[in-house]
């Protein structure tokens, strides 16, 4: 089991340091998927910041999904404060066995959660299973653009000099294996973005 994220300290970081990245990433998701309605699963949603930013600029119904009850409670408070109650559901579970039927959702998004997943082949096969035909997934991590990334790395590294390397190195083997994993799962299309926006797998079922 990979180590987990402490909900209270993560919430503090999201609100005080990471906050500006989510609207930028949400806009990139819209530009790169063009999916703005239907049902979206925010996988490993944490406090829900990305799903909320995306719901704010689309008509998507957002299903916030996480293994942590405490994270989902924070996400629920946060969604209420954005008046998103009637477009939100909250689902607790494990990415390796998503409690949804086949071909259920139009879009899966996930930021910063995959480094914690034990089995990327199983996790991505679950994500593809629950997508509708033609549905898309946008899975990975990053800070949106170079200016945001550099300022966040500086702020976080002031407290912990090893902060960036600790998570980059942790998933190097999985990142290298990802093209092979995705090819074996045979979605109709996939593309890996590795640029200033972050490291993202964009998959079309």
Ligand X SMILES: C[S@@+](CC[C@H](N)C(=O)[O-])C[C@H]1O[C@@H](n2cnc3c(N)ncnc32)[C@H](O)[C@@H]1O
- Interface residues with ligand X (CB under 6 A)? 4-5, 10, 14, 44-46, 49-50, 66-68, 71, 94-95, 111-113, 116-117
What is the nearest approach in angstroms of ligand X to the Cβ of residue 4?
A: 6
Q: What is the 3-state secondary structure (H, E, C) of the chain?
A: CCCCCCHHHHHHHHHHHHCCHHHHHHHHHHHHHCCCCCEEEEECCCCCHHHHHHHHHCCCEEEEEECCHHHHHHHHHHHHHCCCHHHEEEEECCHHHCCCCCCCEEEEEEECCHHHCCCHHHHHHHHHHHEEEEEEEEEEECCCCHHHHHHHHHHHHHHCCCHHHHHHHHCHHHHHHHHHHHHHHCCCEEEEEEECCEEEEEEEC
What is the nearest approach in angstroms of ligand X to the Cβ of residue 83?
A: 20
Query: Which residue number has the CB closest to ligand X?
Result: 46
Q: Among residues 116 and 188, whose Cβ is nearest to ligand X?
A: 116
Q: Among residues 69 and 194, whose Cβ is nearest to ligand X?
A: 69
Q: Among residues 67 and 89, whose Cβ is nearest to ligand X?
A: 67
Q: Among residues 26 and 186, whose Cβ is nearest to ligand X?
A: 26
């Amino acid at each position: 089991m990979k180590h987990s994220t402490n909900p209270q300290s993560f919430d503090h970081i999201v609100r005080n340091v990471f906050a500006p990245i989510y609207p930028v990433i949400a806009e990139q998701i819209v530009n790169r998927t063009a999916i703005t309605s239907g049902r979206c699963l925010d996988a490993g949603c944490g406090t829900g910041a990305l799903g909320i930013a995306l719901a704010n600029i689309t008509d998507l119904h957002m299903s916030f999904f996480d293994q942590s009850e405490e994270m989902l409670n924070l996400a629920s408070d946060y969604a209420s404060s954005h008046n998103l109650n009637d477009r939100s559901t909250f689902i607790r579970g494990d990415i390796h066995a998503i409690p949804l039927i086949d071909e259920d959702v139009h879009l899966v998004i996930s930021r910063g959660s995959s480094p914690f997943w034990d089995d990327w082949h199983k996790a991505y096969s679950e994500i593809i299973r629950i997508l509708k035909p033609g549905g898309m997934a946008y899975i990975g991590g990053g800070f949106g653009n170079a200016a945001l990334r550099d300022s966040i790395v500086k702020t976080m590294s002031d407290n912990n000099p090893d902060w960036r390397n600790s998570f980059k190195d942790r998933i190097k083997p999985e990142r290298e294996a990802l093209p092979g994993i995705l090819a074996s799962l045979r979605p109709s299309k996939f593309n890996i973005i590795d640029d200033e926006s972050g490291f993202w797998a964009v998959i079309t079922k």
